């Protein structure tokens, strides 16, 4: 029996980072988690900014319990850190970012390889639309929109991999990498990234698993090089 694309519950829609359910219990925690993560990635909760359980619970119309659980999950994923007064959006260290990039490169390659056989007309149209939004955001100099489309592009591919373990592993490193990369290397890295996304999309269009893996790995390796170059420039100032 052929593997089916994995539905992580995090399929992304335009203007949002997830279609996570908003019912009760665990689903409320999941919904709170994705909403807080979206606020971080959009810059609504800035790096170093306070993450208030009380304030977010009021904003979301939820009790404090699911919001507190969501914040604890974000702390475990190192997107949020504990402070004396509660919690704040974490600023990933250079060491943490490089560690995450090293792990992410082969995982993204594997996701692209496994996704290639599952790229049907519907998936191809979705990826094409996302890529178009990413390119438009880069041209417009809109980092929040580019960040959203960047994450959506990669998460769509990982969900197409039909491998739940891989999806879970990537989800832990993707958000941290994207947040840190956009805070340190926006000016230098996004136009090349758009070209690299186009190469990944082309390989997936051809259902060429080997090439898709290669260009996906190179994409993250190139991102690593661009981030390192940006650090060198900033240190020289």
pLDDT tens by residue, 51-81: 999 999 999 999 999 999 999 999 988 889 9
Query: Does some domain include residue 2?
Result: no
pLDDT tens by residue, 162-202: 999 999 889 888 877 877 766 665 555 578 999 999 999 99
CA distance 168 to 70: 16
Output the pLDDT for position 181: 67
CA distance 104 to 38: 20
Q: Do both 128 and 107 map to the same domain?
A: yes
Q: Do both 78 and 113 map to the same domain?
A: no
As beta bridge partners, residue 81 has: 88
Other Cβ atoms closer than 10 A to 140: 10
**Chain mean position to CA 143:** 13
Q: In the listed set 89, 114, 135, which residue is the last one of a domain according to the structure?
A: 89
- The pTM score is 0.80
List CB contacts of 236: < 8 A, sequence separation 6 or more.
none
pLDDT at residue 18 tops 90: no
Query: Does some domain include residue 128?
Result: yes
pLDDT at residue 26 tops 80: no
The total domain count for the chain is: 2
- For the range 137-140, what are the long-range contacts, defined as Cβ-Cβ under 8 Å and sequence gap of 24 or more? 138/190, 138/191, 138/193, 138/194
DSSP alpha helices (H): ranges in the chain? 26-41, 53-60, 64-76, 94-115, 121-140, 143-160, 164-184, 186-205, 209-236
List CB contacts of 175: < 8 A, sequence separation 6 or more.
37, 40, 41, 77, 79, 151
Mean pLDDT of the region 23-41:
83
Q: 47 in helix, strand or coil?
A: coil
Query: Does some domain include residue 14?
Result: no
- Residue 74 and residue 82 in contact, taking contact as beta carbons nearer than 8 Å: no
pLDDT tens by residue, 78-128: 889 999 989 999 887 888 888 889 999 999 999 999 999 999 999 999 999
213 φ/ψ angles, rounded to the nearest 5 degrees: -65, -45
Output the pLDDT for position 158: 95
Q: Which residue matches tokens 């230098």?
A: 188
> For residue 135, what are the domain limits?
94-236
Assign residue 204 the CATH number of its domain.
Answer: 1.20.120.530
- Residue 169 and residue 107 in contact, taking contact as beta carbons nearer than 8 Å: yes
Output the pLDDT for position 21: 46
Query: Does some domain include residue 212?
Result: yes
166 φ/ψ angles, rounded to the nearest 5 degrees: -65, -45
Output the pLDDT for position 91: 82
């Amino acid at each position: 029996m052929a593997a089916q694309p994995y539905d992580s519950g995090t399929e992304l829609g335009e203007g949002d980072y997830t279609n996570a359910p908003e019912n009760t219990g665990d689903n409320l925690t999941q919904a709170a988690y994705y909403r807080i993560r979206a606020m971080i990635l959009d810059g609504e909760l800035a790096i170093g900014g306070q993450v208030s359980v009380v304030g977010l619970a009021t904003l979301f119309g939820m009790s404090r319990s699911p919001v507190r659980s969501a914040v604890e999950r974000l702390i475990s994923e190192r997107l949020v850190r504990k402070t004396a007064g509660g919690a704040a959006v974490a600023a990933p260290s250079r060491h943490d970012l490089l560690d995450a990039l090293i792990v992410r490169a082969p995982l993204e390659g594997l996701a692209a390889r496994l996704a290639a056989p599952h790229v049907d007309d519907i998936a191809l149209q979705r990826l094409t639309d996302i890529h178009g939004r990413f390119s438009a955001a880069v041209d417009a100099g809109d980092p929040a929109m580019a960040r959203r489309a960047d994450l959506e592009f990669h998460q769509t591919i990982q969900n197409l991999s039909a491998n739940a373990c891989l999806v879970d592993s990537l989800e832990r490193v993707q958000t941290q990498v994207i947040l840190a990369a956009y805070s340190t290397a926006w000016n230098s890295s996004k136009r090349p990234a758009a070209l690299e996304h186009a190469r990944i999309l082309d390989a997936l269009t051809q259902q060429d698993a080997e090439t898709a893996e290669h260009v996906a790995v190179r994409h993250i390796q190139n991102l690593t090089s661009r981030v390192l170059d940006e650090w060198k420039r900033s240190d020289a100032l």
